[in-house]
């Protein structure tokens, strides 16, 4: 959790952001250019308000995007699992693209894609920790792409954590409902897909030098 705070954390004041980074303004223009960003000479926004005050609505919008994406991913995962349990469990698999892609209901006590079934409680604790860290640090989020990426992670973690808590064989030991079964690959669900997509997006953003607080590395 400390490492996650180091990555996503950002100073509450613009001056503390340090050298080597630029923070884009609402239109993506790096801070420090004439008339834009928190480093503008007058120290005020275009409306005459202090830059710190003008930056708060943009931060709140990013938080709204994060939780909207998380809610969408969570709802999609939850609804799909309810349908699978009601219509597909204890029934033959449904072929979507011949043998290459099927819908097959499977209960998975392990991590994503069926790995580590002996560590169900540990995976439950990890998912809960991820949710807590993202929710705690969301107030310091100023990047829209990072908001989308973290929203996918949060929604996916919530989806599988719900199964861990409420499904058999017991609380924190519940088996996750998986149903997407590609040929020669592990069976997974929409929550796993959201987590993978969020993780890939975070890797791409890191390679581009974009931090969660909206600053961009020059190197």
Residues annotated as catalytic (active site), given as ranges: 178, 192
Question: Could you give the angle at the alpha carbon of 191 between the alpha carbons of 168 and 66, nearest 5°?
Answer: 125
Question: Could you give the angle at the alpha carbon of 20 between the alpha carbons of 14 and 24, nearest 5°?
Answer: 55
DSSP designation for 13: S
DSSP codes joined into one string, 73-85: HHHHHHHHHHHHH
Instruction: Output the CA torsion sign for 41, 42, 46, 52.
Output: positive
Strand pairing report for 216-217 and 176-182: unpaired
Q: How far is CA 158 from CA 121, 198, 200, in A?
A: 15, 14, 18
SS3 47: coil
């Amino acid at each position: 959790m400390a490492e996650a705070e180091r990555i996503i954390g950002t100073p509450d004041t613009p001056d503390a952001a340090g050298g080597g980074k630029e923070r884009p303004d609402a239109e993506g223009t790096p801070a420090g250019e004439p008339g834009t960003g928190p480093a503008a000479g007058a120290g005020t926004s275009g409306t005459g308000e202090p830059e710190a005050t003008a930056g708060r609505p943009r931060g709140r919008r990013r938080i709204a995007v994060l939780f909207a994406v998380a809610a969408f991913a969570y709802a999609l995962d939850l609804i799909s699992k309810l349908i699978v349990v009601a219509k597909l469990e204890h029934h033959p698999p449904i072929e979507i693209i011949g043998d290459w892609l099927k819908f097959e209901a499977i209960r998975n006590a392990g991590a994503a894609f069926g790995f580590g079934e002996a560590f169900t409680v540990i995976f439950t604790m990890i998912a809960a920790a991820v949710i807590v860290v993202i929710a705690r640090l969301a107030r310091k989020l100023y990047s829209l792409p990072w908001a989308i990426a973290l929203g996918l992670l949060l929604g996916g973690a919530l989806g599988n954590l719900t199964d861990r808590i409420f499904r058999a064989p017991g609380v924190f030991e519940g088996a996750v409902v998986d149903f997407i079964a590609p040929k020669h690959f592990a069976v997974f669900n929409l929550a796993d897909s959201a987590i993978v997509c969020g993780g890939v997006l975070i890797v791409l953003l890191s390679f581009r030098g974009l931090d969660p607080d909206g600053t961009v590395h020059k190197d």
